Amino acid sequence: MWDTIIVQPFTNILLGITLGVNNFGIAIILFTLLIKLVTYPLTARQIKQTRAMTELQNSPRYKKMVEKYKDNREKLAEEQMKLYREAKVNPAGSCLPTLIQFPIILGLYQSIIKVMAATPLELLNLERMIYPFLDSSKILPVQNHFLWMDLGQPERLVVAGIPIPVLTILVVLTTWLQGKVVAPPSGGANDQAAAMSKSMNLYMPLFMGWISFTLASGLALYFLASNVATIIQYSIQGTTDWSKILPFIKPKPAVLPASTLPAAVLEVPDDEPIPEPQKPEPKPSARAAVKQQRPPQKRKKK
């Protein structure tokens, strides 16, 4: 079922592109771009929703609400939902497009693996996946060599006898770059999301690097193309913040200038004062906490 709906069509499109451009490496890049293009409406919607959500969570009204109901989680949730409805923001709106994209990304990954068939059995299975209108005898086997890489093997560029994983380094860099410049601006109320985003920016490049280092370089090429395409896509949408890596660029404000939400939703009603953000009390160290709990001990006199 999964193979018939997702993997087989993807594999055939990938093979069709390969047949057209006569280069599997370029076909992977073009196919990645094609998928990005097809999923663009979803991504655009995700960006819009994330932006609206960030804006809402940084609004005085939201902050006040959080402060007011900080001891009543149920009421807070109820009020939040009310506000979301009023602002016409779907709290799941930013992750739903991602969830829809996930099977597409997984299908793309699997189809690349399938096309890089390296054993007779894999080749046989690939041949059976090809639609009759594509001439399998002209397509197969797919030429796995692209630039200095064998796309079916982990990539290393040997320079002066030293194998350098160039593609892995590029994947790590672009994943980090993507995490840095694409992450939405966050304010006080969104600290948890910001912390999560910070952790992701730290671990995701390492994870992608490890995958690229150990698996077939065709996949690493896909990761690289996908990262670059994402950065370009977000840049076109105007939601990248290059000041995070380029200090000479003016940083973007925490709340995006062109508000997509009605002003009335963001503002605090006139009769309610805007709360000052409370400074968190410094946490006592573990040793200090134990000390505090112990009864004072008398010193023994010698």
Partner 1 sequence: MKKHFGLIFMLVLAALVLGGCAMGPRADGTPGVSADETAAYVSYQQYVYKIDAATGTEVWRYPQNASAQIAFYAPPLLADGKLYVGDLANRFQRLSAENGNVDWIFSEAKGWFEAKAATDGTYIIAPNLDRNVYCLTVDGNLLWTYSSEFGFLAEPVVVEDKVYISSMDHHLVALDIATGDVLWKTKLNGALVSAPYYDTENGALYVGSMGKVLTAVDRQSGEILWEFNNNGELSSVWATPVMFGGSVVFSDESGKIFGLNPADGSVNWALDAGGNVTAGILPLESSFVIVREDGTLTVYNMSDRAPVWTRTIDGQVYSTPILAGDKIFIGVKGNVLLQAYDLNGNLVWSFTPGR
> Which residues of this chain interact with partner 1, rule CB under 8 A?
109, 118-125, 127, 136-137, 140-141, 143, 145, 150, 152-153, 196, 199-200, 202-204, 207, 210-211, 214-216
Q: Are 167 and 208 in contact (CB under 8 A)?
A: no
User: Across the chain, where does the E strand assignment appear?
Assistant: 145-146, 149-150, 157-159, 162-164
Q: Which of 104, 129, 125 is nearest to 31 (CA)?
A: 104
Question: Which residues partner with 164 through β-bridges?
Answer: 157
- 59 or 190: CB nearest partner 1: 190
- 136 or 259: CB nearest partner 1: 136
- 141 or 238: CB nearest partner 1: 141
Q: Which of 6, 89, 42, 46 is nearest to 266 (CA)?
A: 89
CB of 113 to partner 1, least distance (A): 8
Task: Give 124's DSSP letter.
Answer: H
The total number of residues written for the chain in this structure: 302
- 99 or 124: CB nearest partner 1: 124
- 93 or 152: CB nearest partner 1: 152
CB of 1 to partner 1, least distance (A): 19
Question: What does the block give as tokens for 129?
Answer: 């996946």
How far is Cα 175 from Cα 171, in angstroms, rounded to an integer?
A: 6
